[in-house]
Copies of this chain bind each other. A is one copy, B any other.
Amino acid sequence: MTGQLDIIGLGPGRQEWLTTETEAILARASDLVGYGPYLDRVPHRDGQRRHASDNREEISRARQGLDLASSGAHVAIVSGGDPGVFAMAAAVFETLEQGDAAWQSINVAVHPGVTAMLAAAARLGAPLGHDFCAISLSDNLKSWEVIERRLHAAATGDFVIALYNPASKARPHLIHDAFTVLRETKEPETIVAFARAVGRPDEHMTLTTLAKADPALADMSTLVLVGAHATRSFEACGRRWIYTPRGTGGV
């Protein structure tokens, strides 16, 4: 009895940002496993079982998915965004590496999706048009010293910087501290965008500068983009855009 474990992502918010592959898997799977609010975004289908869990239960969720698949089920483990970016794919492989022998017969596959920074960038123009990096500010699983060192490297290399998990209720200070680190190296006029709830009805974008950026604008639903030296802003076609030219020489 061979089960199937598909690790998928719903994209950030809009049904239209799912890939057709992910839609097909959601239609075929016998069991959906995921964080409750993500499963809530998937239409109910007769006969399909749902296994919702809380945030920060990634490893037990991965075990549950692997166990269901090893009993012959077709399991979809559901993340938001892309499943490989600060999401469930890494947790599944961490679990699988420690793994039960019973899991070895499972067909495991990861399927790409649209991660939040790509959707935020599209809404804003083309800020990721040149070299960029993605940093999670969550210090649940790594030390602040590592985060600080990466922020410093990203600023020194003049990358456009996408900050995931910029703040949580328990840790509202993360983005404040990140701005402090970035201000040591980057210019005050560096463009900063707060992209909140991208693709959802309450989507809200704020454009500002590193000097003026207000940490209070970031919450768990926000992606923060910090421009490179060359990232520009201009008005056209009735609105303001930001983009990073392809030919930026850096500072």
Binds B, one of A97-105, A176-184, A204-212: A97-105
Q: Does A50 contact B (CB under 8 A)?
A: no
Q: Does A39 contact B (CB under 8 A)?
A: no
Q: Cβ of A103 and Cβ of B19 under 8 Å apart?
A: no
Given A18-B20, A125-B89, residue A103 in contact with residue B236 (CB < 8 A): yes
| Complex partner residue of A110 from B83, B107, B125, B131, CB under 8 angstroms | B125
| Complex partner residue of A19 from B11, B99, B104, B108, CB under 8 angstroms | B11
Given A112-B119, A114-B113, A157-B154, residue A128 in contact with residue B85 (CB < 8 A): yes
Chain B residues contacting A146 (CB-CB under 8 Å) are 158, 248-250
Q: Cβ of A112 and Cβ of B118 under 8 Å apart?
A: yes
Type the 1/0 row for A119-153, where 1 means its CB is closer than 8 Å to any CB of B: 10111011111111111100001110010011011
With the chains together, A113 CA to B118 CA distance in Å? 7
Min CB distance A138 to B, Å, is: 9
Min CB distance A143 to B, Å, is: 6
Q: Does A21 contact B (CB under 8 A)?
A: yes
| Complex partner residue of A17 from B19, B153, B243, B244, CB under 8 angstroms | B19
Chain B residues contacting A237 (CB-CB under 8 Å) are 96, 103-108
Min CB distance A18 to B, Å, is: 6
Q: Does A82 contact B (CB under 8 A)?
A: yes
Chain B residues contacting A40 (CB-CB under 8 Å) are none
- Among residues of B, the one whose C-beta sits closest to the C-beta of A128 is B84
Q: Cβ of B136 and Cβ of A130 under 8 Å apart?
A: yes
- Among residues of B, the one whose C-beta sits closest to the C-beta of A138 is B246
Q: Cβ of B131 and Cβ of A136 under 8 Å apart?
A: yes
| Complex partner residue of A89 from B14, B114, B129, CB under 8 angstroms | B129
Q: Cβ of B19 and Cβ of A114 under 8 Å apart?
A: yes
Most buried by B among A104, A114, A127: A114
| Complex partner residue of A236 from B11, B17, B104, B153, CB under 8 angstroms | B104
Q: Give me 15 A-to-B residue pairs in the complex whose CB atoms sit less than 8 angstroms apart, sorted by A's number.
A: A14-B21, A18-B20, A85-B129, A89-B243, A92-B126, A93-B125, A96-B241, A110-B126, A131-B134, A132-B134, A133-B133, A141-B246, A150-B157, A150-B250, A156-B156
Q: Which 3 A-B pairs have the closest CB atoms?
A: A153-B157, A90-B129, A133-B133
